[in-house]
Amino acid sequence: MIRLSLLAYELVAAETASYSRSTPAEALVSIWGCGRIVMGSGYEGELMKMLLPDQLKALWHAVDQKQLTVDEFTREHERLLGEYQQTWTQALMLQEQQDLQASLLSELGMYMQCDEVAELQRRCERAVETLKSEWQGQVRQQDQQSIERFYDQSQTTIYELMWWHTLGEDASPLAYVTALHFARQHGCHHYLDFGAGVGSGGMLFARHGFEVTLADISSTLLRFSQWRLGQHGLPGTYIDLKAHELPQHAYDFITAMDVFEHLVEPEITVEKIWNALRPGGFLYARIVAEEDVDRPQHIVRDFSATFERMQELGFVQVWQDEWLWGHQVFQKATTA
């Protein structure tokens, strides 16, 4: 059993206290061996659940304090990520499949009516390059109509996102699992995935009993998501943002995963999300301007105006992933 210093506990507990509804705890959730990080003598009491990035941050602090070796940290890092990957895989994989990549390619084949697995994989592997070419040929920068048309018509995004969600290239889609844990810890039930893409987030939340709504500007992606959830027998509501506004005060938890960098007017979008949230509801998002030469669809370079608008509306940041993928959680005030 690994014993962490009081300093390591205080480091993480101070960051989580602002959003936790639990009684302030004096011991942390299990992340080692039989599942407990035990504080030093005299620190007994309730266990406080921690999100994976906070667990890893606390573990690394133990490395800094010479209480844990780098090899031990690495093994625990891999184990914890493996648990997240298992949750993700179980939510997305077809019953008859044993491998996530094979399952997602099978879904693509059924939807696209293509029996050639090698061809499907080729399209997936080239999707980023293909999207870049399509964007450069079809979109006029900052022209909202041409941007909407691009997302509405291109099927290439389906290949790109499905391949990304195999976790073969990076594990960042697992941020949806972190979001799921946060939402469950805070008693949320009514979930909206804003910019839902191929519906994987909706599938994950629906598997865990949430009432799920998927919203996107792309009719192509929404049709695929609706078909996909249907294949898995999962319920969902679908909103085409070109034709319909978000309902007001309908959701207690909203995710916007890697969405804001694609928006022409992110300040207007955060106001719509604010209106869609119930008082006390949460927005889980990554709002970061990162230049990516392979993805010209990332059109926002500065989010200062977006964060200013969020502050004006009354959004308060209550948590941030400082270890893995950089997502933030913002809470709407409980009263107007």
Tell me if 92 is assigned to some domain.
no
- Same domain, yes or no, for 143 and 241? no
- Same domain, yes or no, for 293 and 231? yes
What are the pLDDT digits (tens) for 240-289? 999 999 999 999 999 999 999 989 899 999 999 999 999 999 999 999 87
- Same domain, yes or no, for 318 and 199? yes
Residue 236 has what pLDDT? 98
- Same domain, yes or no, for 128 and 196? no
Angle between helices 117-125 and 127-138 (to 10 degrees): 60
Which residue would you say has higher pLDDT here, 4 or 240? 240
Least confident span in 290-299, 309-318, 323-332: 290-299
Residue 144 has what pLDDT? 85
Question: For 9-15, what is the mean pLDDT?
Answer: 46
Assign 140 a pLDDT band (cuts: 50, 70, 90).
confident
Residue 76 has what pLDDT? 94
Tell me if 303 is assigned to some domain.
yes
Distance CA 259, CA 265 (A): 12
Tell me if 127 is assigned to some domain.
yes
- Same domain, yes or no, for 177 and 324? yes
Assign 334 a pLDDT band (cuts: 50, 70, 90).
confident
Q: Residue 223 pLDDT more than 70?
A: yes
Distance CA 68, CA 27 (A): 18
- Same domain, yes or no, for 176 and 317? yes
Assign 45 a pLDDT band (cuts: 50, 70, 90).
very low
User: Who contacts 78 (Cβ-Cβ below 8 Å, separation ≥6)?
Assistant: none
Residue 39 has what pLDDT? 38
Dihedral sign (CA 279, 283, 289, 293): negative
Give which of 257, 202, 193 is closest to 231, Cα–Cα: 202
Tell me if 95 is assigned to some domain.
no
What are the pLDDT digits (tens) for 171-217? 999 999 999 999 999 999 999 999 999 999 999 999 999 999 999 99
Q: Residue 34 pLDDT more than 70?
A: no
- Same domain, yes or no, for 110 and 80? no
Q: Residue 111 pLDDT more than 50?
A: yes
Tell me if 336 is assigned to some domain.
no
What are the pLDDT digits (tens) for 54-101? 999 999 999 999 999 999 999 999 999 999 999 999 999 999 899 999
Strand, coil or helix: 267: helix
Rounded to the nearest integer, the mean pLDDT of the chain is 87
- Same domain, yes or no, for 180 and 142? no
Domain extent at residue 9 = 3-87
Which residue would you say has higher pLDDT here, 15 or 112? 112
Least confident span in 143-147, 151-155, 233-237, 270-274: 143-147
Between the CA of residue 184 and those of 50, 149, 219, 247, what are the distances in Å? 12, 36, 30, 22
Residue 278 has what pLDDT? 98
Residue 250 has what pLDDT? 98
How many domains, in total, are found in the chain?
A: 3
